[in-house]
């Protein structure tokens, strides 16, 4: 493997490592920005906030509670989704 390829792989791992674990206090827009595949989880729960103004103003916990969803279970499902390869 060339030196350039090794450096590229290391940089990719660093970028992946900097992505935060999803928490209840994060905003929808931030989570979707980091992890686009989380949109599926939100939509499956009837949370169509993905494109609305609330996505930038409301935390995951606030949105989940407004939709009658257990925030802890939602966070667990979101983190499970992003850990899948």
Residue 34: the pLDDT is 85
Taking the CA atoms of 65, 68, 72 and 78 in sequence, report the sign of the dihedral they define: negative
Strands, E, within the chain: which ranges? none
- pLDDT, tens digit, for every residue of 43-73? 999 888 767 777 788 899 999 998 999 999 9
* Comparison of pLDDT for 2 and 23, the residue scoring more: 23
- The pLDDT of residue 54: 72
25: its two tokens: 């206090």
Characterise 26 by phi-psi region: left (phi > 0), alpha (psi -120 to 50), beta (else): beta
- Tell me: the pLDDT tens digits for 4-50? 776 666 666 555 555 668 999 998 888 888 889 999 999 999 888 76
* Cβ–Cβ < 8 Å for 43, 74: no
Q: In what helix (H) or strand (E) does residue 67 lie, and over which residues does it extend?
A: none
**Superfamily (CATH H level) for 20-83:** SP0561-like (1.10.3910.10)
Domain positions in the chain:
20-83
């Amino acid at each position: 493997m060339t030196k350039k390829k090794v450096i590229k792989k290391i940089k990719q791992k660093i970028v992946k490592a900097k992505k935060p674990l999803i928490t209840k206090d994060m905003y929808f827009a931030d989570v979707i920005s980091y992890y686009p595949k989380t949109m599926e989880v939100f939509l499956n729960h009837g949370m169509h906030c993905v494109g609305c103004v609330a996505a930038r103003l409301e935390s995951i916990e606030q949105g989940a509670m407004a939709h009658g969803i257990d925030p802890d279970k939602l966070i667990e499902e979101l983190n499970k989704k992003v850990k899948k390869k």
